[in-house]
């Protein structure tokens, strides 16, 4: 039973490692794809800005762009890309985390039940041993009683013929003639 419990525990650990590895791989791929698309969009935007600047000589526009707006646009673009690609989102990862927590709870319950079963099996083995000892004692007592009853029967058999012999030797006629 310990081997089964250990195997279940190892399987649980392996499953959890695999699921975390899978989540990490998905996140890495998502970020790589987002980064690639972001760089591609940035390159396209720079090319368009260069073309526009060359066309209308808008050097002043460059100074008006704020870093905060670029960060907001980048975050929005990243979120849209993740949604369009169908990659993992925070909500999906939270659901996965909740499932893993439930799985860990079930594994702990299984471990406790296995411990209880092991204790019950030990108690059953102890009861079987006690029963076997009692059966041996009963068998010895039965044998002793059988031996004693044989000895008692043999002793009765010895006494009975000795008592019967004088009774068979006596004849009623002799005893009557002796009295007369």
Ordered per-residue pLDDT tens for the chain, 180 residues: 778 888 888 889 999 989 888 888 988 888 888 888 888 888 988 888 788 767 665 555 455 555 546 656 766 776 677 666 666 566 776 777 788 788 788 878 888 888 888 888 888 888 888 898 999 999 999 999 999 988 888 888 888 765 555 555 555 555 555 444
The answer to whether position 9 is within a domain reads yes
The answer to whether position 139 is within a domain reads no
What is the CB-side half-sphere exposure of residue 5 using CA atoms within 13 A? 13
How many domains is the chain partitioned into structurally? 1
> The pTM is what?
0.31
The answer to whether position 129 is within a domain reads no
What CA–CA distance (Å, rounded) separates 171 from 176?
9
What CA–CA distance (Å, rounded) separates 67 from 88?
27
pLDDT value for 50:
80
The answer to whether position 143 is within a domain reads no
Phi-psi region of 86 (alpha: psi -120 to 50; beta: other; left: phi over 0): left
The CA dihedral of 66, 68, 72, 78, to the nearest 10 degrees, is 90
Q: Which domain holds residue 58?
A: 2-123
The answer to whether position 26 is within a domain reads yes
The answer to whether position 53 is within a domain reads yes
The answer to whether position 48 is within a domain reads yes
What CA–CA distance (Å, rounded) separates 170 from 106?
95
Residues 6+ away with beta carbon under 8 Å from 9: 107, 111
What CA–CA distance (Å, rounded) separates 118 from 2?
8
The answer to whether position 16 is within a domain reads yes
How far, in whole angstroms, is CA 88 from its chain's centroid? 30
Among all chains, which residue has been given the structure tokens 């066309």?
55
């Amino acid at each position: 039973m310990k081997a089964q419990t250990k195997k279940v525990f190892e399987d649980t650990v392996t499953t959890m490692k695999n699921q975390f590895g899978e989540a990490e791989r998905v996140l890495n791929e998502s970020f790589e794809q987002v980064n690639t698309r972001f760089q591609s969009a940035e390159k396209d935007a720079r090319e368009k800005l260069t073309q526009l600047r060359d066309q209308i000589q808008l050097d002043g526009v460059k100074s008006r762009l704020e870093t905060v707006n670029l960060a907001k646009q980048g975050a929005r673009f990243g979120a849209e890309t993740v949604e369009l690609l169908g990659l993992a989102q925070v909500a999906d990862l939270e659901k996965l985390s909740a499932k893993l927590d439930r799985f860990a709870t079930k594994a702990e319950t299984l471990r406790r039940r296995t411990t209880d079963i092991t204790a019950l099996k030990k108690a059953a083995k102890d009861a079987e041993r006690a029963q076997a000892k009692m059966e041996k004692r009963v068998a010895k007592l039965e044998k002793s009683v059988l031996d004693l009853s044989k000895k008692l029967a043999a002793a009765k058999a010895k006494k009975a013929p000795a008592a019967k012999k004088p009774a068979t030797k006596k004849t009623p006629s002799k005893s009557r003639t002796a009295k007369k």
